[in-house]
Copies of this chain bind each other. A is one copy, B any other.
Amino acid sequence: MSDKKTALVISAHSADFVWRCGGAIALHQKKGYDVTIACLSYGERGESAKLWKQGPDMTLEKVKAARRKEAEAAAQALNAHDIQFFDFGDYPLEVDTDGKYKIVDLIRKVQPNFMFSHSKYDPYNTDHMYATQLAIECRMIAQAWGHNPGEKVLGAPQLYLFEPHQTEQMEWKPNVFLDISEVWENKWAAIQAMQGQEHLWHFYENVGENRGNHFRRNSGGQAGGKNCQYAEGFQAVYPRTVEELD
């Protein structure tokens, strides 16, 4: 176990981490954290339309391989410490008790200072909300003194829900904005690594810019706000514990 601060991303499909918290990954790496990305599936069935449209020769294994390659390139662009692929399948993502214990193993190994996952609700994509349920359940198991006694027990890391595609439909409400201006180039490179989903590139560029506007507003606007250019928003599940307000 490293002395470094750490973070863990639990991503339902292999590209989610890019659009939704790529900036946070690159930024915290730059600040000295080790950030680990866990892809529960490759999004091979449900988020790879472009590959499947290539024709009848396409196979599940080929899609997985292509998706993995893209995700690794994106992780590299973000300087992520590690990326793990659980290959649990998608549409639907289904994880049994053994699968949960593998996620717990990773959580305990990483001992994250904070975690990331999806919105609580998503009627477009049930894999997303299921990944969040898993994150919450596995965090709980990792806190159990009787699970693999002798292992280091997990504390109480924050769980940040990252931005879904249609925020209002997912009942997602960000309560923290993170300035990612200084690592935007990394995020933009990671986005471009997602060759199969080029139709989303500009959408998430717009998101980054508009969240930058929200950051400026909430940090003071025209009366002293910070000149942030790009930001990401997150919804914290648990209350913070502080020694001073801000």
Q: Does A84 contact B (CB under 8 A)?
A: no
Contact A100 B92 (CB under 8 A): yes
Bound-state Cα–Cα, A137 to B206, Å: 29
- Give 1 or 0 for each of A41-55: 1 = CB within 8 Å of chain B CB: 000111011001100
Q: Does A195 contact B (CB under 8 A)?
A: no
Bound-state Cα–Cα, A171 to B168, Å: 8
Bound-state Cα–Cα, A244 to B231, Å: 12
Contact B178 A145 (CB under 8 A): no
Contact A221 B155 (CB under 8 A): yes
Bound-state Cα–Cα, A145 to B56, Å: 12
Contact A52 B149 (CB under 8 A): yes
Bound-state Cα–Cα, A177 to B68, Å: 35
Q: How far is the CB of A197 from chain B (nearest CB, A)?
A: 11
Q: How far is the CB of A186 from chain B (nearest CB, A)?
A: 16
Q: Does A156 contact B (CB under 8 A)?
A: yes
Q: How far is the CB of A156 from chain B (nearest CB, A)?
A: 5
Contact B206 A174 (CB under 8 A): no
Bound-state Cα–Cα, A65 to B196, Å: 50
Contact A168 B158 (CB under 8 A): no
With a cutoff of 8 Å between Cβ atoms, the chain B residues found around residue A172 in the complex are 168
Contact B239 A169 (CB under 8 A): yes
A209-B218 contact given A56-B149, A225-B155, CB 8 Å threshold: no
Q: Does A192 contact B (CB under 8 A)?
A: no
Contact B203 A213 (CB under 8 A): yes
Q: Could you list 30 examples of A-B contacts with CB < 8 Å? A: A28-B244, A31-B244, A45-B146, A46-B147, A48-B146, A52-B145, A52-B149, A56-B150, A60-B146, A91-B141, A91-B147, A92-B141, A94-B97, A114-B246, A123-B159, A158-B245, A160-B245, A165-B217, A168-B168, A168-B174, A169-B238, A175-B240, A176-B242, A177-B241, A178-B245, A179-B242, A206-B209, A215-B241, A219-B241, A228-B241
